[in-house]
Structures are given as structure tokens and as C-alpha cells.
Amino acid sequence: MVELTLPRNSKVNGKGKTHKADKQAVAKGHKPKWQTFKVYRYDPEDNENPRVDQYQIDVSNVSMVLDGLLKIKNEIDPSLTLRRSCREGVCGSCAMNINGANTLACTKGMDELGNGPVSVYPLPHQPVVKDLVTDLTKFYEQHASVQPYLQAKEADPEEEWKQSPEDREELDGLYECIMCASCSTACPSYWWNGDKGGEEEYLGPAALLQAHRWIKDSRDQMTNERLDELEDNFKLYRCHTIMNCTQVCPKGLNPAKAISEIKALMVNRPEK
Ligand code: SF4
Ligand code: FES
């Protein structure tokens, strides 16, 4: 898994908080498995920003990193702020940076991380709202900019737009994206070119995967217009095939391949 270099100006808060109930269980003969979580903290209303807090918890009954974070939140420090909803890799809301790689906290097993400290940071290069929660407004705007819905020039059919099983299969690997933003926020080109504002900015792998999903849909009739929209110096061509997106995607998707296929379509389409 790719290691991301995270320029941080954090200091470690060495309190090493341990849950009282864990200590009591040990006193009663329970064999604990201690593990340290180093968690990035940022609070807009606090002066000590940013910092890293350390928590030592018994992980003998903790399966996933999200379970560990919720144990910290529920039993040691209720001020720890994070997003989560489904807890099973479907909603995308718990994406964060764990031991140097973007992923979903709810599907990242503790057994994948070894016995060392678990470092948890928010998704890189996004404005932090609080602790592990980032502001993804820009990310969602870029997603919306590719018009991720079916568009036709003909009048709607009486029943539905039909698609053959073969054409439907063409969308496999494209429609499953859960919009977690792990890929785009792992991409150095997106860090540099994704937030320029105005027309000239790189849309990033997640938005481009969506663009490709609709370009490839046999029912959509706006393929040329969609390609026109992407044809400038930034939106598509700032992808330099670094591949971090594909390495980190927790759903096993391949945004880098989708981007290269859009580039191929751009080159091979008939003269306008
Ligand atoms: S392509 Fe993968 S990493 Fe990127 S937003 Fe979709 S699910 Fe998340
Ligand atoms: S909580 Fe929904 S993907 Fe992790």
C-alpha cells in the first residue's frame, strides 16, 4: 500500500489516556492486548492546534479501526470527532488516513496493521472542520460538474431506457464508487491542481471515474458533449498516472484506468 508523506506541524500530546474500564478488567484477570492510537486533533475553538493525542486501549475485542476510534470516543474522550454511518463499507463517510494510507476505517481490520501504534489522520489536503472530519464541498462540486446522470437527446421512451446485458456489464467497475474521496485526496496532482478555482482545475480521479461511467453508458446520448467538457489543460490531463488512486480505493476500483480510457476516447474520436 502506498505511503503518503503528510507534512504536519503537529505536536504529540503525550497524556496517553487509557480507559478506566480497561484497567479494571485487567485487575480482574482479563488478558489485554494494548495498542496505542495516535489521533490527529484540530478544534477551531481550541488554541492547541493541531496536535496528536495518544490513547492506549485494549483491542482484544476490537476488529476494525473504526471500532477502536468509537471505543475511544465512547469510553475515553467524547470530544473526538469523526464521520461514520453504515459501518460496512457502503456509505463512504468514514474515509480517513490510517498508517499513511487513505482507506475506510470501518473496513480496515486491526489485524492488517500489526502491533505498532495506529496513526489516524483526516484525508490529506482537505480543509479540516474538526479532528477527522474534512470539508468535502469542493469534492462534491467537482462530482456534480460531470453531470452524473443519464442524458438523452430523444424524447423519453414510454417505459424505460433499455440496455443489453452486455452493455450493462461495461459499467462494472465504474458504478460501484461510494464517493469516499480516498482516491482524489491521495493524488498529488489533485493536491496541487484540484482547488485552483474557476474553470481551470483538475477534477481528480473520483469525478473522472464518474464521468467515464456516463460516457460508457450505452443509453446516454451526450458522449461528445461530455468529452468536450473535459477537453482543457486541467480537468482531465493533469492526471499523470501516479496510480495512488487505484492503490488506495477501498472498493477495489481503478480510477486510473478509467482516466486513461477517457484520454484514449479523446484522441480517437472523429474530428468535430
Ligand atoms: S473510486 Fe474508490 S476511492 Fe475513489 S471515491 Fe470511489 S470508492 Fe472512494
Ligand atoms: S461507515 Fe460507511 S463506509 Fe465506513
pLDDT, tens digit, for every residue of 40-69? 999 988 888 899 999 999 999 999 999 999
pLDDT of residue 6: 39
89 in ligand 2 pocket by Cβ < 6 Å? yes
Task: Answer whether 182 contacts ligand 1 (Cβ < 6 A).
Answer: yes
> pLDDT tens, 3-12?
343 334 445 5
Let me know if residue 6 belongs to a domain.
Answer: no
The predicted pLDDT at position 200 comes to 82
Q: Which of 84, 113, 133 is the last residue of a domain?
A: 133
Chain centroid, CA 58 distance in Å: 28
What is the number of the ligand 1 atom nearest to the C-alpha of 249?
3
Alpha-carbon distance of 178 to 139, in angstroms, equals 13
Residue whose CB lies within 8 A of the most ligand 2 atoms, among 63, 73, 83, 86, for a mutation test: 86
Mean pLDDT of 223-242: 95
DSSP 264: H
Mean pLDDT value across residues 93-101? 98
- Looking at residue 5, its pLDDT comes to 37
Bridge partner list, 35: 57
Mean pLDDT for 98-104 is: 98
pLDDT band (50, 70, 90) for residue 166: very high
3-class secondary structure, 166 = helix
**pLDDT, position 240:** 96
Residue 42's nearest CA partner among 75, 9, 3, 67 is 9
Q: Name the residue with higher pLDDT: 46 or 119.
A: 119
Shared-domain flag, residues 98 and 152: no
Total count of domains within the chain: 2
Residue from 88, 108, 179 whose mutation best tests the ligand 2 pocket (most atoms within 8 A of CB)? 88
Q: How far, in Å, CA of 35 to CA of 27, rounded?
A: 18
Q: What is the DSSP string of 50-82?
A: SEEEEEEEE-TT--BHHHHHHHHHHHT-TT---
CA distances from 204 to 39, 172, 194, 243 (A): 27, 20, 7, 12
Domain contains 1: no
pTM across the whole model: 0.90
CATH number for the domain including 168?
1.10.1060.10
Listed residues 133, 156, 185: the one ending a domain: 133
Confidence of residue 213 (pLDDT cuts 50, 70, 90): very high
Write out the residue range of the structural domain in which residue 24 sits. Answer: 11-133
CATH number at residue 70: 3.10.20.30
Are residues 195 and 127 in contact, defined by beta-carbon separation less than 8 angstroms?
no
- C-alpha span between 189 and 186 (Å, rounded): 9
| Residue 255 and residue 197 in one domain | yes
Q: Are residues 125 and 163 in the same domain?
A: no
| 35 and 121 together in one domain | yes
Sign of the Cα pseudo-torsion (248, 250, 256, 257, in order): positive
Burial 28-38 (b: 16+ CB within 10 A, else e): eeeebeebbbb
Q: Is 51 in the pocket of ligand 1 (CB under 6 A)?
A: no
Which of the listed residues 115, 133, 151 is the one where a domain comes to its end?
Answer: 133
C-beta of 104 in contact with ligand 2 (< 6 A): yes
Report yes or no on 45 lying in a domain. Answer: yes
